[in-house]
Amino acid sequence: MNDSKLAERNIPGMNRRNRFVEVEHAEDVKGTLRRIVTYFVREKLLVFCMLGIVIFGTLCGVLAPSLQSKAIDIIAGTVQGKLMNTVLFMLTAYLLYSGSQLIQGLISAKLSQRIVKRMRGELFEKIVDLPVPYLDTHSHGDVMSRMTNDIENISTTVSQSLPSLFSGVLTILGTVAIMLWYCWQLALLSCISVLLTVFATKILSKRVRKFSRRRQQLLGTLNGTVEEMISGYRTVVAYNHQDITTEEFCAVSDSLTKAGIRTDIFSGVMGPIMNCIGNISFVIIAVFGGYFAIHGLISVGVISAFIVYAKQFSRPINEIAQIYGQLQTAIAGAERVFAVLDEESEDQAGEELADDSAATVTFQNLRFSYQQGYPVIHDYSLQIPSGKKVALVGATGSGKTTIVNLLMRFYDPDSGDIYINRQNIRDISRNSLRKNVAIVLQDTILFSETVQNNLKYGNESASEEQLQKAVEMSRCSEMIQMLPQGYDTVLTGAGENISQGQRQLLAIARAFVADPKILILDEATSNVDTRTEKMIQDAMQLVMQNRTSIIIAHRLSTIRDADIIVVMDQGRIVESGDHNSLLAQKGKYYELYMTQYAGFSI
């Protein structure tokens, strides 16, 4: 949307640089978790399979050290048994444990992709059905971030964090149970290292989260700076702003580097500290285990098993501490996704527009405001006879584009009515209304598709003959022939491989292909040269015959031959008539005309 439309709507913009800021906590954790569970319920077969594999793998992991203990005791001669069979059982347990980890990873990856696919599909379907006001008042970057970053966080959590959480909890319970069964005294002494682990993890995780949050914020700022520099590169160069832009980038980059170093330091320190605590645990087990073994409370094999169990016990605690932060981020991301899903879709109810070749448009006592208390349209009444060409002119912010938004039902008026023939457009479904109205905007939007598919965007069933006629009338036939593959040329980057003027011509041709009852041209020739503009005007005369047309223009040369010229000022009609009669009145239109063509203001 261009500046004039922003001014007209009086809606404050949003800072693009904030869209990468990481969300740490959800407001309604329980409600969000309940909704996430519904996605798991739909994949209950995979969930049960994963839980079964997790339980089986945990049992194997807990059983293996016990078999190791028995093998050592057999070698020491304190326990009777067949050493080879025990070793084979131990090897089998470890192999099954490793195999279950592999299968668990495969199942969790499949589960996460299925859940994310469903969630992403629902979100996209909701976005395309959202009313225009929602997308006009929300940062596009933020909406895209919910589709990409937030969904990706959920995917990562489901595929990696949840299986680790389940297996970690089961491993802790199983390990504690078997340690208590072997020697409760040594088990309690081992908990000293667990307390140290929890304490160290809490302190370090808090620091890591703090600097990680800061790094994410600075990364968003840095990305915003780079994005603005690339998109506005011509302006940067034209105003010799390279040095200042570089200084801004370096300042943010330096701060990001410092935050990154601190994050990496505390993240890197966590591993060695955990290893140190683990070694302390081994010392405790070795010292007290040896004492208990000497006094006959336990065997040497039990000491060996306790060393393995102590490692198994501390590992899931560390993982759960790290998973907690990921879960918080994923839940917050899911809440943002659900917030969009809970938005009301655009109402598509209503009757069909009557199949009538005539299309008289009547605006009756309209009043409208984008923000309550700040009306931009005041008591607006206008009738556009069927088949006539009406031009809306006026200063920036006078309400011209708003009238088009109301006619297209992008917005509904606060009061008043709009009729097409005798049908109130409130009673017409939006789909039916928009099928019969074609619009060419000043900001040309094409899609990364072939030229032919772009032209058929408003009428997929258009014949080859209709296509050729529209192309010839819009004077872009020669331009298309010069493209590498003609109609099959793919417009990369939504048309970046052709000029702005060529994109404008294709947009006009697309409107012609749609063959609408009502044609709206919002500064449709603003990006073409004077010669091309004259050719398009001549072509539009043919297209507009017997078709109701509304033209919004700042170039008064494009609307001299309009049947009715409506002059708007601050949301009101101040003058109307044809070109000559308005000039004779020497009013607002005369001022605009003389300012534009005589070179001075009246």
Q: What is the mean pLDDT of residues 139-160?
A: 77
Per-residue confidence (pLDDT) for residue 265, from 0 to 100: 80
Q: How many angstroms separate the CA atoms of 71 and 439, rounded?
A: 82
Global pTM exceeds 0.85: no
Cα 507 to the chain's mean position, in Å? 26
Q: Are 512 and 439 in contact (CB under 8 A)?
A: no
Counting Cβ atoms within 10 Å, is residue 237 exposed (0-12), middle (13-18) or buried (19+)? exposed
Q: Provide the pLDDT confidence category of residue 526 given band limits of 50, 70 and 90.
A: low
Q: How many angstroms separate the CA atoms of 8 and 442, rounded?
A: 15
Domain ranges of the chain: 28-182+333-343, 184-297
Per-residue confidence (pLDDT) for residue 7, from 0 to 100: 38
Per-residue confidence (pLDDT) for residue 308, from 0 to 100: 79
Per-residue confidence (pLDDT) for residue 322, from 0 to 100: 67
pLDDT (tens digit per residue) in 434-479:
888 888 877 777 888 888 888 888 788 888 888 888 888 777 888 8
Q: Which residues are 374's β-sheet partners?
A: 371
Per-residue confidence (pLDDT) for residue 6, from 0 to 100: 37
Q: Provide the pLDDT confidence category of residue 86 given band limits of 50, 70 and 90.
A: confident
Q: Phi/psi of residue 36, each to 5°?
A: -65, -40
Rg (CA), the chain: 35
Which contiguous run of DSSP H or E holds residue 503?
helix 500-514
pLDDT (tens digit per residue) in 344-394:
888 888 888 888 778 889 999 999 998 888 889 998 999 999 888 899 998
Q: Which tokens go with 33? A: 């978790």
- For 466, the 3-state DSSP assignment is helix
Q: Which residues contact 437 (CB under 8 A, 6 or more apart)?
A: 407, 408, 516, 517, 518, 519, 520
Q: What is the mean pLDDT of residues 228-239?
A: 76
Q: Provide the pLDDT confidence category of residue 73 given band limits of 50, 70 and 90.
A: confident
Q: Provide the pLDDT confidence category of residue 598 given band limits of 50, 70 and 90.
A: low
User: What's the CATH fold of domain 28-182+333-343?
Assistant: ABC transporter transmembrane region fold (1.20.1560)
Neighbours of 444 (CB within 10 A): 21
User: How is the chain split among helix, strand and coil, in percent rounded to 5?
Assistant: 65, 10, 25
Q: Provide the pLDDT confidence category of residue 528 given band limits of 50, 70 and 90.
A: low
Q: Which tokens go with 191? A: 């908990």
